[in-house]
Every structure is written in C-alpha cells, then in structure tokens.
DNA sequence: TCATATCCGTGGAACGTTCCAGGATGCGTG
DNA sequence: CACGCATCCTGGAACGTTCCACGGATATGA
C-alpha cells in the first residue's frame, strides 16, 4: 500500500507543458520557451512542436495569467447590446482587442446600476487588464466609486469624462450643425428632445450646441423636452404635455432635434402614428448615424459620429495606458459631420 | 546583505487572502471559507469581512479557476454583433450566463473561418467551461475539426446540428407558413431568396418548407435564388439574372420569401430603388422577426422565432451539460409564428 | 592547454487559491 | 476523570505556467 497520496484522477486531463516535455525529451522550460516564441535551437523546436501536435497540447492561459500576475483580457461594460449604437462599437472594440492579442469579456448592464456594479466586480475579480465603459447609465455614487476604486485603467467610450481616458464625439459641434441645418431650412421653432438613451454629459453638450446655434440665429431655444420612446407625452421642465397637442399647436415646434438616432427613429414612428407627416409636418434630426438611419425607408437626417473609429481609438488608448499606467490621461473628441437625408425639409406653409 | 532573494516589488499590489488573514488574525483557510460561503462561526466571519472591507480585497478569480481546474466563463462565437439578430441573442445569452454566475467571453467571427478558428483556440486556451456557437458561417473542415476536438461542451444556437446540443427554430414549419401566407394572398409565382446571412442547414430547411407548401398548393417551386444584399443581381443555379428584369418580366415572381429579416429588409430597399413598390408590385416575407421588422416604416411580414427564449434555452442546455458531461445530446426546436405586416399583399392586377 | 565567451538547455521558486486531513477546544456522558 | 463527539479552525500540497540564475558543451583566442 503506497503512502504517497494518489494523484487525483480526472477524465481526459488536458496535457500540460510537462507532458509535452516528457514526450519531446526536453525540460518544461524548453517547452515554455518554444510556446512563447523565445530563442530555441531549430532542431529542438521542431521536436517540441511535433510533441505538442501529437498530444494536442493547448497552453493554459489561466495558469499563464496566474503566474504573470496580469491578464490579456479586457472588460467591456456595455449599455445595451440590442441597441445598434452599442452593438457596433462593441463589435469593433472586440475586433481591435483581439487583433492585439486580447480577449474581451462583455457585461451588459441594461441601464441598471446594480447590474453594472456587479459587472465591474466580476470583471475585477477576473483581473481584466482594463475596462471599456460603453454605456449611457447615469452613474450614481455607488457605481462611480466602484469604477474609481478599480485599480485598472478605464476608457470611456462615446462620452468624455474628467478622469480616466475617454473618446467621444464633438457633441457641442454636433448639436450646432444639426440645429443650423434646421435653421437653414427655415425652421424657427425647433425643440430639443432628450431621451433616456443618451449619456447625460453628452446630452448636455448637444443641448449647448443647439442653444448656441439658436441664439446666434436669433431664435429662442426651448428647454429640453424629456421623452421616453414608446410614449406620446413629453415633459418640459415640470409640465407634462401631450405630444399630439404640442405638435399640433400653432406655436408648436416645426422641427425636432432628438439627441440620438434610436430616439429619433422612434420619434418618427410616434409622429406618424399620431398623424404628423415627417418631414412634411415636422422635421426630425438625430445624432449618431447608426446603420439603421441610412435605410431608405428610414432615411434619417443625422449627425454622423465615426463609431468604428472611436471604438478603435478607445482600445488603443486603453492598451497604451495598460503599457504605461503613469501616462497622463487623454481625452479625444472626434469630429462629427451632418448627414442630410429625408427626415428634414422646409417647414409647412 | 540578505541572501534571500528580495520579493519582487510591485506598485500597489492587490491584497491577497493572506493579507486578509493577517489583518483578521485567522488562517488563510478561514478567509477562504468566508469568501466561499462555507460554514464559519459568526464572530469569525464578521472579523474576516471587516478585514476584507478595510483592505479592499477582491478574490482572484484567476487563481481560483487555476486551482479548481475549471472556470466559470462561457465563450460565445458570434457571427456579427452589428447584425441585430445576433446582437439580441448574444445579449440574452450574456444575461442568462451572468445570472448563473458565469462571465462571457465574446468572439466576433465576422463570417471568416480563420478568425473563427483563432477565436476557438483563444477560448479554449482560456479554458472556458463551454461554448455557444451563434453564427451563420458555413463550417469548413478546419473549423469543424477545431470545434469537435474541443473538449468542452458546445451548444449551437439558431440552428440544429448533429452533434453537441442545439436550439433552433422550426425552420421547415416556418418556411411553410411563410409560403402559405403568400399563397393565400393569391400569389402563385413565389421565389425563395437565399442570402449569405443565414446558416446553411437552416436555410435548407426553410427552403424545404417552401417547396412543400408550393407543391401542396399545386404551384411550382423554383430553385433558390442566391442574392447578396447591396447588389441587384441574383443567381439561380448557374445563371445570373438582373433583379430588375426578373421582377419586371411577366413570368417573374410576384412575391419573394427571403430567408432572413436583414436580407428581406435589404431586399425591400433594393426593390424600391429599382422602382418596384412593396407590397404593390412585389410582396416580401422575411424570417426571424428582429426588432427592426416591427418598425412602422419597415413593417415586414415575417416568421417570428423567439430569439430571447432560444438564447435562454441554449445557455440552460450548456450549463446542464457542463454539470453532467455524460448526458445524451439534446436538440430543441422551438415553434415559430407568422407575423403579418405590411410588406405583403395580394399580387398586382 | 587553459581561460573565456557563446550557445542552449535546465531546475527551482513563485503566483493565490482550494481542498483535505487533522488539530485544538469545549461539552456532555459513562 | 477519561472518553467520545461536535464544532471550528489550521497548515500543507497541489494546480501549470513563467522567469531567472545557473550549468554543461562547444567554439574561440592567447
């Protein structure tokens, strides 16, 4: 009876570097060197590679990450994957990361803070090398703390942020050109419509652009109308208004600037359901230029922001910071561009 | 001068279980027990929890996974996140996995086999506990091998497969009801249009349903028309045809059954660009019922498959198999339902 | 021939956790 | 008091890799 405790048996245990070493008749270090692409004499290398092939060895990334005390995983906190705005950025970010040898862990936060906090925790427990924050959630104290206490780099994508790195569109400029487009068409009563689907700071900047353009043209800027897609009432300040009445009244807006495309498309739907033609009775401008906006049937005039480019930059910034954590934080804002389509036209009458 | 090699120093090293143990005055095992929720006397537990809080300790999932020789990560191979069909399923799958304590690693394969193979490799190196295959790529030998050699469970989502588990829609039934709908409207010349955006086996089944319905009604089923969205030519067998001529000819189809919604919506665009009204000149039916199809401006008649339900089931099947690898493989096909909207109507004349 | 340099390969420590056998303590019972 | 038992905690081994200092050949130069 052996005193040595039997090695726990497993079904079809995956071969390790030691199995390969034995098979090839070299030390584990040599196998490690081959796998990592370090200098090894050619003859030895092929011997090892053959052994790897015979055994079907796959390096254990978990063990590697464990010993190296760092991972090649990025975490992505994404607001809502079924929203094409996020989906597209998420996709590009994943591709960019993969190209650089990083895998990507996603966490859908669905606009809920507690999920977001749990997601951050989970990502940190998995020791991701960095995080991409790609969400519109209005960050409360708890989430803010969770993010700030995280000892890993964070890049904010689609918005600019005081701390960490960030990549976002030129929101103010975008708000301005959208509004100027409507003014040029002859509109004077233009409303700014805010939906919950946009990040608060970006929203404020877009509104600021709108205000600036209105003021410059001598038109009166209204306060933002809050709108929840799917409903037909809006809130302006404390007052609730019925959308049908608002648009139907003689003093009502002839054009709407909705702060994001998903909201703008939903607004087109709602307006038409209420019997207002777009752009005949009301012109609508969006923001983002998601793929959907370009469909003929939709044809939304919008402010295009280069989603792919931003996602690429975000990953690039993140990797730079991972490589050099001491680097001062960077904030990139990328130019936007008006895309005129068929949801806007001159005001009626 | 000390002979003992100095422990490599790191900036702000994350606290480990040992730091917590020292802080709380207990052994590392006790801390481990607290963290894992094992039985620990209440007094000790609070002492440990306080220490955890003071130090800001976060369990190291990498180390845990390493010692346990298994992870709580699922890999998802997704065809194309910017396609809402996948995005929605991916989102639901991620949520379901997260609820069960699993994190999700995504890999966008973008329809390219070599990316898919590299992605599978990467997921396996990270020792994911299982994989969800959510893509339309036609699997060539190499990818097929990579998947089969993977020693982890795989579930195919959105398609049925001979091996592994799978969850998919009742494709044949769906093809039948879509076709019957058009027949009922009075169409006799109905074409089946295949785009590269659908998984081959699902496509074949939908076509089979179409054929069956046509035969039963005494109409002649054509061979599938291959169509690449964005172009205006189709291939039927070996022959290339111009879409404008095809639809314009007196013997041309009065209705199209496109095998997926993204393709169907693109087809509406193309038809209208070519001057054919939908549904006036040509009726179009899709398959999937993505959110987009329900927009007023699109209003696509389509075969609805419960995407959320399928994604949930796929994760459930995967976790069951992870828990019991010996379980016989399961294939679930879920019922579909015709959703009649405004892209179909009686044939012209 | 010896010293030195170069080239390749090796062995051991370390990473942070889990798991398990067993130790310490306290309590009830014969 | 001795013993058994329950309760609670502990220490060590193991996981698969990387990294580093070192070792043994072989070549080079004096």
Q: Are strands A165-169 and A154-157 parallel, antiparallel or unpaired?
A: parallel
A342 occurs within a structural domain: no
Which residue of B lies nearest to A85 if distances are taken between CA atoms?
Answer: B82
Which nucleotide, over all strands, has the C1' atom closest to the CA of A34? C9
Q: Please give the pLDDT value at position B8.
A: 37
- Any alpha helices (H) in chain B, and if so which ranges? 17-24, 28-36, 42-55, 61-68, 84-99, 113-125, 141-149, 171-184, 200-216, 243-248, 261-273, 307-323
pLDDT band at residue A198 under the 50/70/90 scheme = confident
Average pLDDT over residues A249-265: 96
Same domain, A255 and A184: yes
What's the confidence (pLDDT) of residue A159? 85
Whether residues A93 and A32 fall in one domain: no
| Residue A22, C-beta contacts closer than 8 angstroms, at least 6 positions apart | none
Using alpha carbons only, give the angle B322, B327, B329 rounded to the nearest 5 degrees: 95
- Is B99 found in the same domain as B146? yes
Same domain, B292 and B180: yes
pLDDT, tens digit, 9 for 90 and up, residues A103-149: 999 999 988 899 999 999 999 999 999 999 998 876 678 888 899 88
Q: What per-residue confidence (pLDDT) applies to B88?
A: 95
Mean pLDDT of B166-191: 97
Same domain, A101 and A38: no
Q: What pLDDT score does B241 carry?
A: 92
pLDDT for A220 equals: 96
For B296-319, the pLDDT digits (tens) are 999 999 999 999 999 999 999 999
Question: At which of B59, B91, B110 does a domain end?
Answer: B59
- pLDDT of B105 reads 97
Closest C1' nucleotide to B70's CA: D15
Identify the pLDDT of residue A11: 46
Same domain flag for B122 and B135: yes
B127 & B276 share domain = no
Backbone angles phi, psi at A258, to 5 degrees: -100, 135
Gap between the Cα atoms of A337 and A296, Å rounded:
19
What confidence category does residue A1 fall into, taking pLDDT thresholds of 50, 70 and 90?
A: very low
Which among A335, A272, A342, A271 is positioned nearest to A300, based on CA atoms? A342
Of B237, B222, B229, residue with least CA distance to B187: B222
Restricting to B residues 145-164, those with a Cβ less than 8 Å away from any Cβ of A are 149, 151
Same domain, A160 and A176: no
> Does B64 reside within a domain?
no
- The nt closest to A66 (CA vs C1′) is C15
CB-based contact B301:B343 (threshold 8 Å): yes
Tokens 């090649």 locate to A72
Residue B6 domain flag: no
* A 288-317: CB under 8 A from B: 291-292, 295-298
Q: HSE-up of A217 (CA within 13 Å, CB side)?
A: 23
Chain C nucleotides close to protein (CB under 7 A) are 7-20
Cβ–Cβ of B127/A98 closer than 8 Å?
Answer: no
As a whole number, the mean pLDDT across chain B is 92
Q: Is residue A100 part of a domain?
A: yes
Average pLDDT (B76-93) is: 95
Buried (b) or exposed (e) across A307-316, using 16+ Cβ within 10 A? beebbbbbbb
At residue B196, the pLDDT reads 87
Distance of CA A246 to the CA centre of its chain: 34
Inter-chain touch A94–B82, beta carbons under 8 Å = no
**Cβ–Cβ gap A95/B110 under 8 Å:** yes
Q: Taking residues B32-59, what's their average pLDDT?
A: 95
Lowest pLDDT segment from B4-8, B21-25, B166-170: B4-8
Instruction: Give mean pLDDT, residues A205-226.
Output: 97
Q: Are B126 and A12 an interchain contact pair (Cβ–Cβ within 8 Å)?
A: no
Q: How far is the CA of A32 from the C1' of D30 (A)?
A: 39
Residue B344's closest CA among B256, B263, B215? B256
Range of the domain at A46: 17-59
CA distance readout (Å), A120 to A142, A200, B305: 11, 20, 33
Residue B2 lies in a domain: no
DSSP string, A105-132: EEEE-TT-HHHHHHHHHHHHHTT-SEEE
Q: Do residues B101 and B197 both lie within one domain?
A: no
A64 touches strand D (CB under 7 A): yes
pLDDT of residue A12: 61
Contact positions of strand D to protein Cβ (< 7 A): 7-20
Answer for B40: CB within 7 Å of strand C: no
Q: What is the pLDDT of residue B11?
A: 46
pLDDT at B43 over 70: yes
What residues of chain B, 99 to 118, have a C-beta less than 8 Å from chain A? 103-108, 110, 115, 118
Looking at every residue in chain A, the average pLDDT score rounds to: 92
How long is the CA A3 to C1' D13 vector, in angstroms? 14
pLDDT of residue A164: 87
Helix then strand count (H, E) for chain A reads 12, 14
Cβ partners under 8 Å of residue B252, min gap 6 = B189, B245, B246
Question: Based on the structure, what is the number of domains in chain A?
Answer: 3
- Same domain assignment for residues A81 and A129: yes
Residue B214 lies in a domain: yes
CB < 8 Å from A in window 235-274 of B = 265, 268-269, 272-273
Measure, in angstroms, how far nucleotide D18 C1' is from residue A201 CA. 44
pLDDT of residue B12: 61
Specify whether A297 is located in the same domain as A176: yes
The DSSP H or E segment spanning B306 is none
Residues B140 and B163 in one domain: yes
Q: What is the CATH number of the domain that holds B51?
A: 1.10.260.40
State the pairing for strand pair A73-78/A130-134. Answer: parallel
pLDDT reported for residue B164:
87
> Nearest CA to CA, how far is B338 from chain A (Å)?
22
Q: CA-based Rg of chain A, rounded to a whole angstrom? A: 27
Point out the residue among B69, B82, B94 whose CB comes nearest to the CB of A88: B82
Residue B2 pLDDT grade (very low, low, confident, very high; cuts 50, 70, 90): very low
Where is pLDDT greater, at A159 or B90?
B90
Closest CA–CA distance from residue A206 to any residue of chain B (Å): 25
Q: Which of A5, A32, A59 is the last residue of a domain?
A: A59
* CATH of residue A164: 3.40.50.2300
Q: What is the token pair recorded at A245?
A: 């009445």
User: What are A305's two structure tokens?
Assistant: 């922001």
Q: Is A8 on the interface with B (CB under 8 A)?
A: no
Q: Residue B252: pLDDT above 90?
A: yes
| A323 domain-assigned | yes
* The residue to which tokens 């087809």 are assigned: B267
Please say whether the beta carbons of A221 and A255 come within 8 A: no
Length of chain B: 349
**For A69-102, where are the alpha helices, taking DSSP H only?**
84-99
Q: Which residue does chain B place closest to A88, by CA atoms?
A: B82
Interface with B, mutate which of A13, A14, A73, A91 (most B CBs under 10 A):
A91
> What confidence tier does A200 reach under pLDDT thresholds 50, 70, 90?
confident
Chain A neighbors of B298, CB-CB under 8 A? 295, 297-298
Cβ-contact B310, B169 below 8 angstroms: yes
Instruction: Classify residue B4: in a domain, yes or no.
Output: no
């Amino acid at each position: 009876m052996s005193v040595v405790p039997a090695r726990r048996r497993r079904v079809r245990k995956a071969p390790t570097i030691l199995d390969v070493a034995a098979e090839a008749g070299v030390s584990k270090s040599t196998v490690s060197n081959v796998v990592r692409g370090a200098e090894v004499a050619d003859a030895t290398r092929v011997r090892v590679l053959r052994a790897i092939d015979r055994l079907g060895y796959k390096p254990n990334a978990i063990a590697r990450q464990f010993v190296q005390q760092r991972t090649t995983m990025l975490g992505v906190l994404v607001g809502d994957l079924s929203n094409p705005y996020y989906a597209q950025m998420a996709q590009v970010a994943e591709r960019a990361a993969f190209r650089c040898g990083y895998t990507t862990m996603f966490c859908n936060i669905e606009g809920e803070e507690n999920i977001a906090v749990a997601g951050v925790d989970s990502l940190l427990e998995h020791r991701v090398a960095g995080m991409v924050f790609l969400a519109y959630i209005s960050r409360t104290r708890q989430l803010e703390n969770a993010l700030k206490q995280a000892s890993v780099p964070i890049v904010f994508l689609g918005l600019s942020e005081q701390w960490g790195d960030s990549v976002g569109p030129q929101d103010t400029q975008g708000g301005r050109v959208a509004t100027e487009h409507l003014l040029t068409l002859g509109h004077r009563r233009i409303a700014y419509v805010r939906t919950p689907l946009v990040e608060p700071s970006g929203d404020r900047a877009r509104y600021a652009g709108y205000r600036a353009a209105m003021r410059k043209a001598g038109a009166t800027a209204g306060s933002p109308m809050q709108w929840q897609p799917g409903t037909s009432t809006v809130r302006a300040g404390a007052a609730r208004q019925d959308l049908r009445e608002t648009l139907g009244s003689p003093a009502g807006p002839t054009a709407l600037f909705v702060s994001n495309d998903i909201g703008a498309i939903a607004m087109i739907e709602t307006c038409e359901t209420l019997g207002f033609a777009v752009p005949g009775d009301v012109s609508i401008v969006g923001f983002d230029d998601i793929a959907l906006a370009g469909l003929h049937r939709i044809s939304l005039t919008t402010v295009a922001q280069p989603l792919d480019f931003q996602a690429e930059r975000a990953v690039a910034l993140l990797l730079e910071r991972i490589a050099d954590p001491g680097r001062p934080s960077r904030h990139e804002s990328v130019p936007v561009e008006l895309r005129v389509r068929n949801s806007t036209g001159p005001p009626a009458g």
